[in-house]
Amino acid sequence: MRLLGRLTQCAGRGGERGLSSLSEGGSGASSYTAKISQIIDSGQAKYFTVPEDRTVFQAVRQMVDHHCGSLIVKNEKTGSMVGIITERDYLTKIITKDRASKTTLVKEIMTKHIISVDASATVGESMKIMASHNIRHLPVLENNQLVGVVSMRELVKKVAEYHEKHISYLMAQIQRMAIAVSHGPVGKQSS
């Protein structure tokens, strides 16, 4: 009990970095409440497009060249987004169906019902959308215009980075408290 009281006293010492800073992780908003627009602004949500009349082989080659797992499918005449093609589409609609990727067009296998998120959505909201629809790539819109595509991998990485910072902050707080406890209460010497 005496140790708990001393730890509580230490937490309030030397500035107000107690529980309020802990909830913020000492470095800004929680990863779950961070806006997707922050990922877009950092350049981590790049996207690539493919015309709907290209072959699946050409699309897969483009994914390999760009080290990405999805391409936004666009109509060449209108420039509008008409679908998304992913590695999963290739596996489930070409490989497992024994279809030829060099003769099958992107528009034949693309996902036409595009699930997207607004740039103002949070990382947590976006992860929930992706999990509930069992997707790994999520187009991001701002004013109904495509501004990026986030992947589940990028979002998990953002959450992990936040937790690493949070753990470092907590470890530093524990070390400060341990030092303060070993020196006794302020103004008194430990016996």
List all residues 6 or more positions away from 39 whose beta carbon is below 8 Å from its beta carbon.
45, 123, 148, 150, 154, 155, 158
Tokens linked to 99? 């279809």
Confidence class for position 30, pLDDT limits 50, 70, 90: low
Q: Where are the domains of the chain?
A: 2-183
Confidence class for position 26, pLDDT limits 50, 70, 90: very low
Q: CB–CB of 154/44 below 8 Å?
A: yes
Give me the amino acid identity at 153. R
Tokens linked to 60? 């897969």
Q: Which of residues 43 and 20 earns the better pLDDT score?
A: 43
Tokens linked to 103? 């003769």
Opening angle at CA 60, ends 72 and 146, nearest 5: 10
- State in words which class domain 2-183 has: alpha beta
For residue 157, pLDDT over 80 is answered with yes
Q: CB–CB of 83/70 below 8 Å?
A: no
- Average model confidence (pLDDT) for the chain? 81
Q: What is the per-residue pLDDT across 130-152, written as a single tens digit (0 to 9) for each?
A: 999 999 999 999 999 999 999 99
For residue 185, pLDDT over 60 is answered with yes
Looking at residue 132, its pLDDT comes to: 97
Closest CA to 149 of 65, 63, 53: 63
